[in-house]
Amino acid sequence: MTADTLSLPIDIQQTTSPRVQDVDFTNLVFGRNISDHMFVAEYRDGQWQQLRIVPYGDLSLSPATAALHYGQAIFEGMKAYKNEDNEVLLFRPHDNWKRFNRSAERMCMPTVPEEVFMNGLTELMRLDAEWVPCAPGCSLYIRPYMFAADAYLGVRPSESYLFVIFTSPVGTYYANPLKVKVETDYIRAAAGGVGAAKCAGNYAASLYPARLAQQAGYDQLIWTDARDHVFVEESGTMNVMFMLDGKLVTPAVSDTILDGITRKSIVEIARHWGISVEERKVSIREVIEALKEGRLQAAFGAGTAVVVSPFSVIAYEGVDYHLPAVEEDSFVTKVKNYLTDLRTGKIADTFGWVLKA
């Protein structure tokens, strides 16, 4: 079958052995189950071609594949939900597409046309709609990614690429509030580097410092600026936000901070609610002082995978500072519920963020 009304038709080969019935939707662990199909497009000779949806399965790659050596690889994370009429809803997918292409430009890769990204995504949603969970806290995590496919050992931008989208039904990423340690030795990103790009290497580089923190009893790190370790940047794979003196305060995006879609949604919702928002440099000392003086109502991570994840402890210079428990009427709880209600169509989407797949 072909979705051939498109200018770049997608060849569709449906699986003959669907696995959806085998999945325990009451116990979804993040990243464990992968849905039946994947979308694949190839970039060769300067153009995107061979668009197809095929049963999810292994890719066959040369051991010399450039991405495996030099890390020319980028990805996105996005989510789909179901509304009460069983329709599949995507949350701000065009923002993911635009950010994907910004990452592509930074990593010297070809951009993916809107038609390829969006049609691949929506066709995949149509085929795998049964994989979108309905239970509270669950969603279908969508992973678009692209990597350098040349089998070539010289260091240069690849001439061929693979763009793939696959999906995974997921539950909660972090079950409990996080104990986070402020990192002042290692760095995530430096000015002029690739911190704002969603490239594979950023995540690889974070693993060792995160493991050290976990061995010391923490869940994640708060990254600080590479030069002086004075300003807060991100936490783990999330943007960081604070409710400080009743205002929403968050590090401004820059070339070291990812332009998070959950982050910017929360900023827009807070403004819509009349809450004052400050996007600026936030020093870790300011946060700790506010915490000590009882002026820090909450600190939390925001991201597609985690949605909103409150911190229970911030460790800085060897001291564990405890945050107040998150109450039902707090901003953190309200914004998390509001986002969920928007994404599942329970409340009217006055922002224009939700797209029926």
Identity of residue 110: P
Contact 112, 146 (CB under 8 A): yes
Q: How far is the CB of 21 from ligand COI (least distance, A)?
A: 26
Q: How far is the CB of 312 from ligand COI (least distance, A)?
A: 20
Give the residue nearest to ligand COI (CB).
Answer: 77
In angstroms, rounded to a whole number, what is the distance separating the alpha carbons of residues 90 and 205? 30
Q: How far is the CB of 67 from ligand COI (least distance, A)?
A: 17
Is the CB of 103 or the CB of 111 nearer to ligand COI?
A: 103
Contact 262, 303 (CB under 8 A): yes
Q: How far is the CB of 14 from ligand COI (least distance, A)?
A: 27
Q: How far is the CB of 259 from ligand COI (least distance, A)?
A: 12
Q: How far is the CB of 75 from ligand COI (least distance, A)?
A: 7
Is the CB of 171 or the CB of 303 nearer to ligand COI?
A: 303
Q: Please return the burial class of 181, using the count of CB atoms within 10 Å of its CB with bins 0-12, 13-18 and 19+.
A: buried
Is the CB of 219 or the CB of 286 nearer to ligand COI?
A: 219
Q: Annotate 52-110 with DSSP letters as a single string.
A: EEEES-PPP--TTBHHHHH--EEE--EEEEE-TTS-EEEESHHHHHHHHHHHHHHTT-P
The residues binding ligand COI (CB under 6 A) are: 77, 203, 237, 303-305
Is the CB of 40 or the CB of 305 nearer to ligand COI?
A: 305
Is the CB of 98 or the CB of 281 nearer to ligand COI?
A: 98
Is the CB of 112 or the CB of 290 nearer to ligand COI?
A: 112
Contact 89, 211 (CB under 8 A): no
Q: How many other C-beta atoms lie within 10 A of the C-beta of residue 283? A: 14
Q: How far is the CB of 148 from ligand COI (least distance, A)?
A: 20
The residue among 315, 287, 301, 295 whose CA lies nearest residue 231 is 287
In angstroms, rounded to a whole number, what is the distance separating the alpha carbons of residues 25 and 328? 27
* Cα-based angle 168, 176, 211 (whole degrees, multiple of 5): 75
Contact 53, 127 (CB under 8 A): yes
Is the CB of 148 or the CB of 261 nearer to ligand COI?
A: 261
Is the CB of 122 or the CB of 239 nearer to ligand COI?
A: 239
Q: How far is the CB of 133 from ligand COI (least distance, A)?
A: 17
The residue among 181, 186, 204, 216 whose CA lies nearest residue 315 is 181
Pair type for strands 161-170 and 78-82 = unpaired
**Lookup: tokens for 251:** 């590090």
